[in-house]
Amino acid sequence: MTFELFIQNFFNALTVGSLYALIAIGYTMVYGILRFINFAHGDVFMVGAYFIFFGAATFALPWPLAAVAAIVGSAALGIIVDRIAYRPLREAPRISALISAIGVSFLLENLGLVIFTGLPRPAVQPEWMVNPIILGNIRILPISFIVPLVTAVLVMGLLWLVYRTRPGLAMRAISRDIETTRLMGVSIDRIIALTFGLGSALAAAAGIMWAMRYPQIHPFMGVMPGFKAFIAAVVGGIGSIQGAVLGGVLLGTVEIMAVAFYPELSGYRDAFAFVLLIVILLFRPTGLLGEKLDDKI
Amino acid sequence: MMKMFKVLAGVLLAVFMLSGAAQAQIKVGVYLPLTGQNAFGGQLELDGVNLAYKQMGEVLGQKIDLIVMDNKSEPMEATNAVKRLIERDKVAAIIGTYGSSLALAGGEVAELAKIPVVGTSCTNPLVTQGKTYYFRACFIDPYQGAGAATYAVKSLQAKKAALLIDVSNDYAVGLGAFFKKSFTALGGEIVAELKYNSGDQDFTSQLAEINSKAPDVMFIPAYFAEGGIIMKQARELGATFRIMGGDAMDNPETVSIAGAASEGFIHTSFPYDPTMPNMNAEAKAFTEAWNAAYPDKGPNVNAALGYASYLMVIKAIEKAGSADPAAITKALAETKDLDTPLGKLTLDADHNPQMPVGIIEIKDGKRVYVGEVQPE
């Protein structure tokens, strides 16, 4: 492989990896606080992409405004889903909430099919995102820089929120012991709603970025990225925000570089993600940055 | 009291039977992808079927009852759809489907139940090969792959070709292999062969590798959903080679997804297109009827194939003189010189029609029917 080709692949990997990371932090945050895999996360991601599509194409909002509207709309959706599908199951065994999440996932996908139809739609891309930056034979899309940047900013914001603010303190308390936190006078349901709102806002942000990079949206677009991001979160150590970022970037790099070095294996690209998951879990059952099993965030 | 009840029951039964007899219908099933990845083509084909149904809703003095099922672009759902049409609705014949993977899945059920099926645009040879009950209105992939390779070598003077193939799709794997075979037979060289899976969105690593081999042409036997994105990413990575595809790329969405990246894209097609010069009488009539029925969207080849499939079924029922599936099957196998928008249709021993391969190129964001090629 030539050096140029390697650099090209490096940037491709960085873009895919940070997209996975962006989705993965939503999974990991909800898990860290509630010990619960929100399987509907990938579908909120899809809804976020549709919201910006309708904002920009149907209501002709300027792009930044459409993005904000999509994020707010998705956060509201996350809170509503929590209120309807998860809150009544708070006291039930964890598996019930998990099954409920799978139900929500199918519900959102099929609602999408009914409301948005199954036809893939081209996403609206602002002009400055589309023209590649050319360095000799290397071509890098502006989005390749924007995605890691957005991911970094969101992660820092999230870490600040979780470790430096009172709601963050309450979140961490809930992740330790939900009953004791309730006894301390914390409004559990509000904090959990906030968690879902934030998680869904992150999913929407990821959906928007994804649609900018791969400008085609359809009701099942969240399924595979959702799985991959889930793997990224587990590889990095589910519950750890830094771990999700590490897992995402690692997964993107493995996928791209495996094909770059072994083109004949390109058909197995998706399989690499799952092999990576198995190998890492064999050696580190709690993921790369995961804490011991009995400990939460 | 009892007697009166019996009389009443008898009268009711008679009325019921009479009305049943008056509304004797021949049931024809349709299974097409109306949602999911292949929804666009499936819906156009359904529109084509419906147009033909509106014109020819009656045969042998009986009304046709058209029962439509969505196979959701998934082989498992295609199996279910065909099962339901046969077992619950007891159809005499079936039309469908777009997509070879779906037709292969549905075909197994129909073969066991001995119900004839006419495929709309399933182009993999295995769909009808060795089957007694599957027929089709479209040509097959070896033929189409050879057509694409012939055009690449003869008209584009291509010497080096790269392939990017969806390995989870029977159609793509088959068409890719047939292109490769014909391209090398015509003296060309395959410099790269990369793969991906249906639903993938990122092709950058595969395309970077293909780019480094500098082919003259890249053949992508993809569906437009992935194909559009592949073209876009290829141009973003600075690819200058020609990109070619198969009939599954024949979709207005190809241009709307790929945008400027679709300029110069060439794909093979069935020999019907609203922009084609020298249209035959059937094609002209079909185009006019379509424009009258659906003024807000133009006809395309899928619509013509849906129309032609319905035509094949109706003519076969007429010839068979009954709605007996075995008789219809026999009549379908003998389809000869049937006038359709795609030209005169004659089925060969493998239930495949012979027709030239149409070539379409995207020029200034518009599909242009540039001509036809006889595969070598």
Q: Which two tokens stand for residue B297?
A: 């969207």
Give me the pLDDT at residue B11, please: 60
Residues B231 and B363 in one domain: yes
Q: Return the beta strands (E) in A157-267 as ranges.
A: 216-217
Q: DSSP for A59-80, please give it.
A: S---HHHHHHHHHHHHHHHHHH
Confidence check on the interface: ipTM exceeds 0.85, yes or no: no
Instruction: Answer whether B194 sits within 8 Å of A259, measured CB to CB.
Output: yes
Q: Chain A: residue nearest B236 by CA?
A: A132
Residues B49 and B189 in one domain: no
Give me the pLDDT at residue B22, please: 47
Residue with tokens 């009544």: A88
**Minimum mean pLDDT among A68-82, A91-105, B12-26, B120-134: which range?**
B12-26
Mean pLDDT value of segment B82-88: 96
Residues B224 and B365 in one domain: yes
Give me the pLDDT at residue B266, please: 94
**What are the tens digits of pLDDT across the range B301-347?**
899 999 999 999 999 999 999 999 999 999 999 999 999 999 888 89
What phi and psi, each to the nearest 5 degrees, are found at residue B222?
Answer: -100, 170
Give me the pLDDT at residue B199, please: 79
Q: What is the pTM of this model?
A: 0.76
> What's the domain count of chain B?
2
Give me the pLDDT at residue B10, please: 60
B222 part of a folded domain = yes
**Minimum mean pLDDT among A123-127, A141-145, B282-286: which range?**
A123-127
Residues B30 and B129 in one domain: yes
Residue of B202, B223, B229, B249 to mutate, interface with A, max A Cβ within 10 Å? B202
Residue of B37, B44, B98, B201 to mutate, interface with A, max A Cβ within 10 Å? B201
Q: Chain A: residue nearest B36 by CA?
A: A118
Residues B162 and B41 in one domain: no
Selecting from A118, A221, A259 the residue whose C-beta is nearest the C-beta of B35 gives A118
Q: Which two tokens stand for residue B261?
A: 């990246």
Helix or strand holding residue A189 (H, E): helix A188-213
Mean pLDDT value of segment B67-91: 95
Percent of chain A clearing pLDDT 70 (strictly above): 98
Residues B221 and B112 in one domain: no
B6 part of a folded domain = no
Residues B261 and B180 in one domain: yes
> Does the pLDDT value for residue A130 go beyond 60?
yes
| Mean pLDDT taken over chain A | 88
Domains by residue range for chain A, with CATH: 3-283 (1.10.3470)
Instruction: Answer whether B205 sits within 8 Å of A257, measured CB to CB.
Output: yes
CB-based contacts of A30, cutoff 8 Å, min separation 6? A36, A37, A38, A41, A195, A196, A199
Residue with tokens 């969240």: A222
Give me the pLDDT at residue B20, please: 47
**What are the tens digits of pLDDT across the range B157-212?**
999 999 999 998 878 998 999 999 999 999 999 999 999 988 788 898 899 999 99
B10 part of a folded domain = no
**What are the tens digits of pLDDT across the range A189-216?**
999 999 999 999 999 999 999 988 888 8
Residues B159 and B257 in one domain: yes
Selecting from A9, A120, A269 the residue whose C-beta is nearest the C-beta of B225 gives A120
**What are the tens digits of pLDDT across the range A31-58?**
888 888 889 999 999 999 999 999 988 8
Residues B173 and B236 in one domain: yes
Q: Among A67-71, A213-217, B276-280, name the most confident range.
A: A67-71
Helix or strand holding residue B55 (H, E): helix B39-55
Bridge partners, B189 (sequence order): B160
Residues B82 and B103 in one domain: yes
Residues B174 and B258 in one domain: yes
Chain A residues whose C-beta sits inside 8 Å of any chain B C-beta: 1-2, 5, 8-9, 12-13, 15-16, 113, 117-120, 122, 132, 134, 137, 139, 141, 210, 213-216, 218, 220-221, 223-225, 255-257, 259-260, 263-264, 266-267, 269-270
Selecting from B212, B238, B257 the residue whose C-beta is nearest the C-beta of A2 gives B212
B352 part of a folded domain = no
Give me the pLDDT at residue B23, please: 57
CB-based contacts of A168, cutoff 8 Å, min separation 6? A160, A161, A162
Q: How far is A122 from chain B (nearest CA, A)?
A: 5
Contacts with A255 from chain B: Cβ below 8 Å = 202, 205
> Does the pLDDT value for residue B24 go beyond 80?
no
Give me the pLDDT at residue B6, please: 65
Give the burial class of B166: count Cβ atoms within 10 A of its Cβ; 0-12 exposed, 13-18 middle, 19 or more buried. Answer: buried
Residue with tokens 């062969």: B193
B15 part of a folded domain = no
> Does the pLDDT value for residue B55 go beyond 80?
yes
Selecting from B209, B236, B237 the residue whose C-beta is nearest the C-beta of A260 gives B209
Give me the pLDDT at residue A297, please: 44
| Mean pLDDT taken over chain B | 89
B35 part of a folded domain = yes
Give me the pLDDT at residue B244, please: 95
Residues B314 and B173 in one domain: no
Give me the pLDDT at residue A134, please: 83
> Does the pLDDT value for residue B4 go beyond 70?
no
Give me the pLDDT at residue B207, please: 92
CB atoms < 10 A from the CB of A4, how many? 14
Give me the pLDDT at residue B284, please: 93
Q: Which amino acid is at B157?
A: Q
Long-range contacts of B75-84 (CB under 8 A, 24+ apart): B75/B101, B75/B102, B75/B104, B75/B105, B76/B105, B78/B31, B78/B102, B78/B103, B78/B105, B78/B106, B79/B105, B79/B106, B79/B108, B79/B109, B81/B31, B81/B106, B82/B29, B82/B31, B82/B106, B82/B107, B82/B109, B82/B110, B82/B117, B83/B109
B13 part of a folded domain = no
Chain B residues whose C-beta sits inside 8 Å of any chain A C-beta: 34-37, 39-40, 72-73, 165, 167, 192-197, 199-202, 204-206, 208-209, 212, 225, 228-229, 232, 236-238, 253, 256-257, 259
Higher pLDDT residue, B224 or A295? Answer: B224
B353 part of a folded domain = no
Range of the domain at B238: 142-269+358-373
Task: State the CATH number of the domain containing residue B365.
Answer: 3.40.50.2300
